[in-house]
Structure 1
Amino acid sequence: MIQKNKWFRIFTNKQGQGTIEALALSVTVIAAVTALGAGIYFSVVHVGMNYMLHEYLICQKTQGATDCKKDFYKKSAPFLVAAKVLTLESSVVFRKQRARLVVAMPMKRTLTFKKELEIY
């Protein structure tokens, strides 16, 4: 009979309940903030690289291919905190300037951007 009361008291003890609930809540909040931060980062990289690729095409069309690639890498560095550029290719087909960019993102993801520019 004594053993039964001992186990009953262990499971009904309310001391430490607030600590357990706070720990569970903090883990949930940290996971939500991390997921939100990752979503924002992926969005900023997508928009930023899209814009930088467009600027790269304009630079190539107007100034030639002299320093455009160096400028692209230098200006895209703030967007690529946790990512890196794998390939940056450009070509001219008829009068259109084309570029293809592949960016390696965290969590083994890659983003591929393709752009065309035709200045009349």
Structure 2
Amino acid sequence: MLVYLWSRRNPYVRMNFFGLLNFQAPFLPWVLMGFSSLLGNSIIVDLLGIAVGHIYFILEDVFPNQHGGIRILKTPSILKAIFDTSDEDPNNNPLPEEWPGGFAWLEDQRLEG
């Protein structure tokens, strides 16, 4: 499901499968299903993931953007109350950003220049 959803939300990403097959991201779930069948595995799980991912994609990304469309899938308010923090909360301190590789690259450039 997650592979299908990612591939539909990133349609222009070019993919390469083992250096043999070049394709765009929307075909990734189908390529993985084909590879799974080549290995002799059942494709039922792959087909189920594609079906559930497609239903979620339609309900979350396509239907709400249509004329007169509404969001059918909404987060329950009890979960929002438990996990959502207010932006105005004075105790809400976001974690500091980590630099790639644990090294402050931009800070060294500022010191040199």
Query: Which range, TM-score by smaller chain?
Result: under 0.3
| TM-score relative to the length of structure 2 | 0.25
| TM-score relative to the length of structure 1 | 0.24
From the CA coordinates, give the structure whose radius of gyration is larger. 1
Normalized per residue, the structure richer in strand is 1
